[in-house]
Amino acid sequence: MIVMKFGGTSVGSPERIRSVVNLVNDDKPKIVVLSAMSGTTNALVKISELFYAGNKSAVAEIDQLEDKYKVVVSELYGTEEYRNRGTGLIRERFDLLRSFSRRPFTAVDECTILAQGELLSTALTRLYCEESGIASMLLPALNFMRIDRNGEPDSYYIKEQINRELESCPDVKLFITQGFICRDANGEISNLKRGGSDYSASLIGKAINAEEIQIWTDIDGFHNNDPRYVKNTKAIRELSFSEAAELAYFGAKILHPACVWPAQEANIPLLLKNTMEPEAPGTVISSKAVDEGIKAIAAKDNITAIKIKSGRMLMAYGFLRKVFEVFESYRTPIDMITTSEIAVSLTIDSTVHLDKIIQELQLYGNVGIDRRMTIICIVGNNIMNSKESIAKIFKALKNVPVRMISYGGSRHNISILTDSEYKAEALNRLSEYLFMDEHRSRHKRHSSD
């Protein structure tokens, strides 16, 4: 059995839903994981914020979103019977949304509201399968996907419950389930945060020991740089799990950072594919050894750099432990870190508890803050072994003010921190120095042919 995940743009219109159904209709056993239709989650977040604020315009926003779904239903189904059934499905969901206007709003209510996007996309898609004569079954994620009290997936529970669900339907080959949504340790509706549908697919793949996990989106795999800022990027055909994890964590939007680990742990290949160009080969991520050298560049924005300077660090031990304990107590991950004799600099991407963190760090020394920073990550297999590549990286960045460098912590990653205003320049300069020779060689070969 394989797992196929389709993102919001892949199911973002009646035409795209029909394309997805055509892709999965091949009589092979599979679980199809769907995100909410593009734009829906943002709309639901806005509705939740209005409810929190006690703003009565929340109902008008709900009505507006329902009107969009009525258009989807009218265009998706070909018969009056299924249009009526589709209308009934969306009426049920939107009546539930409107019911929150009649009572105090809570965090549990917010999670329930955010879950409606995936519940709608899966219900409408399964109904379209039925109208098209394609046998399928809904596999409710809320029956098996659960996180523990620390917000981490409960792998044992997920495995036990999903396999029980599958065993109860031995003749079904096509299952449709929701990404992103789950239950918490108390049984309340929760979620795996933004981009969590990728994570859902990977957790499901591990739980059922899938043959392959496919992530379908609107781009043909990992690119060697960010195509929004750099021209002439190209798709990468193969990556190791470690390389893909680094790229995903440090800003490559195509894949949720947490998605790689379950697949790697179970040694299940991840395949990134493009729903707009299904014939494109995409990117295969696996444990297979890949060529050495630099593969790709990614950038992570909204980074805050913190510097703690103190004479007490000199010839002392235990200082760093105290600093790290501050971040641990506020559950704030650290991305990069560098140290000198009397100072330590580090970066975070979550500023939820920044004021309290600074207040505690000031007990240990002078604290400086740099905001609006970007981490640029250069990824490849054993890139530290390539003196030529290292030289090219620093030559490319000679005119870019570098705040921090992380070099040596990973065989697959060199990271630099710079002000976000230099991001585009740095990405383009790195592409020019690291990839353009290869691009010119390919162009020369094609021209001679």
- Give the strands of the sheet with 30-34, arranged side by side: 137-138, 174-178, 30-34, 2-6, 212-217, 270-274, 283-286, 238-240
Among 218, 244, 268, the domain-final residue is: 218
Q: Which secondary structure element, helix H or strand E, spans residue 197, and what is its range? A: helix 196-208
**CATH of residue 412:** 3.30.2130.10
The residue length of the chain stands at: 449
Residue span of the structural domain in which 406 resides: 296-448
As given in the structure block, the two tokens for residue 56 are 């009565």
**Shared domain check, 350 and 440:** yes
Point out the domain boundary residue: 195, 218, 241: 218
CB 378 within 8 A of CB 297: yes
Instruction: Tell me if 142 is assigned to some domain.
Output: yes
Question: Residues 183, 145: contact at Cβ < 8 Å?
Answer: yes
CB 179 within 8 A of CB 37: no
Instruction: Say if residue 199 is in the same domain as residue 300.
Output: no
Nearest-5° angle of CA 221, CA 227, CA 230? 140
- The secondary structure of residue 153, as a DSSP letter, is B
The total number of structural domains that make up the chain: 2
pLDDT confidence of residue 444? 44
Residues 6 or more apart whose CB falls under 8 angstroms from that of 365 comprise: 308, 309, 310, 311, 312, 313, 343
Mean pLDDT for all residues in the chain: 91
Residue 316 — very low, low, confident or very high, per pLDDT cuts 50/70/90?
low
Q: Are residues 199 and 322 in the same domain?
A: no
Q: Which CATH number fits the domain that encloses residue 149?
A: 3.40.1160.10
401 occurs within a structural domain: yes
- How far is Cα 115 from Cα 45, in angstroms, rounded to an integer? 10
Distance from the Cα of residue 150 to its chain's centroid: 20
Q: Quote the CA–CA distance of 416 and 406 in Å, as a whole number.
A: 6
pTM of the model: 0.88
CB atoms closer than 10 angstroms to residue 235: 17
Q: Work out the burial of residue 19: count CB atoms within 10 Å of its CB; fewer than 13 is exposed, 13-18 middle, 19 or more buried.
A: middle
pLDDT more than 90, % of the chain: 72
At residue 339 the predicted structure's pLDDT band, cuts being 50, 70 and 90, is confident
Over residues 113-133, the pLDDT tens digits come to 999 999 999 999 999 999 999
In a domain, 240, yes or no: no
- Domain identity same for 40 and 139: yes
